[in-house]
Amino acid sequence: MTRIDPRTAVVSDRLAGVQRIIGVTGSKGGIGKSVVASLLALSLADRGVRVGLFDLDFTSPSDHVVLGADRRFPDEEFGIDPHRVEGIDMMSVAFFAGDAPVPLRGDAATNALLELLAITRWSDLDVLVLDMPPGLGDTNLDVIRLLPRLEFLLVGNGSRVVIESVRRALTLFAELEVPMVGLLENMHRGTSTAIADLAAAHRVCFLGSIPYDETLEEALGDAASLRQTAVYAGVPTLD
Ligand SMILES: Nc1ncnc2c1ncn2[C@@H]1O[C@H](COP(=O)(O)OP(=O)(O)O)[C@@H](O)[C@H]1O
Ligand SMILES: [Mg+2]
């Protein structure tokens, strides 16, 4: 289907002015992908990096909640313009869908992804951060296929229910030869070195451990408070 889909050609044109595309991904939900993606974008913007943030979790978009973005409908003329939020160019299905649920699967998920990639008018960016949906399903495989320049930043944590799936993700990305920014541990508690050890075993860069931060919940939606959190302090600088 995609070989004859004109949107695939449009996608690379739309992203021609973007230097790096970094997918913040994880093998499970609830491990902090959205918070990490949003605060990575915020910290890059604060340091003068031209950054975009694209929420690709269509069924549960959350970056607009993390950053406190209005859900205004995007401006439209020969495509749609991202919103500007705290110096970040931001796009999310939440800007279109209001409170309506967006249940998508299979081809519908791929179509929504292609459509948004094809119509969004990104300006010249140093980094476009993609906030990926949980798991290793359709959208993750689609962006790997559609965006040859993609690099993944994998978020994990040291819980025994997560480690196994982080290992699977590392194996899959190695098999698919996706370039890796590295593995970042989030919500670190105690003294476990399981995630750092996994990074070493799979020869990917270990990007550090972000501790569990009780103040995060209160800080959501307010950039000044977010800048005081352990997540903001712990996201990688990408230098
Ligand atoms: N380092 C942290 N300390 C405390 N709470 C966190 C941390 N990282 C994420 N959270 C919280 O965990 C929950 C899930 O985070 P979220 O970014 O939505 O995960 P995901 O995108 O992987 O599903 C949210 O309530 C978020 O505020
Ligand atoms: Mg999320």
80-119, pLDDT tens digit by residue?
Answer: 999 999 999 999 988 887 777 777 777 888 888 888 999 9
All domains of the chain in start order, with CATH: 2-234 (3.40.50.300)
Q: Are 94 and 34 in contact (CB under 8 A)?
A: no
Q: Which of 155, 216, 232 to mutate to test the pocket of ligand 1 (most atoms within 8 A of CB)?
A: 216
Model pLDDT, residue 154 = 97
pLDDT band at 190 (very low <50, low <70, confident <90, very high): confident
Model pLDDT, residue 4 = 64
Q: Are 122 and 147 in contact (CB under 8 A)?
A: no
183: left (phi over 0), alpha (psi -120 to 50) or beta: beta
185 CA from centroid of ligand 1 (Å): 12
How high does pLDDT run on average in the chain? 92
Distance CA 4, CA 52 (A): 28
Crossing angle of helices 160-175 and 194-201, in 10° steps, is 20
**Rounded alpha-carbon distances, angstroms, from residue 208 to 154, 174, 183, 188, 234:** 12, 20, 8, 10, 7
Distance CA 49, CA 45 (A): 5
3-state secondary structure of 165: helix
Q: Which of 35, 63, 217 to mutate to test the pocket of ligand 1 (most atoms within 8 A of CB)?
A: 35
Interior CA angle at 48 toward 47 and 50, to 5°?
125
pLDDT band at 139 (very low <50, low <70, confident <90, very high): confident
Token representation of residue 133: 């949906």
Beta-carbon neighbours within 5 Å of ion ligand 2: 33-34, 57
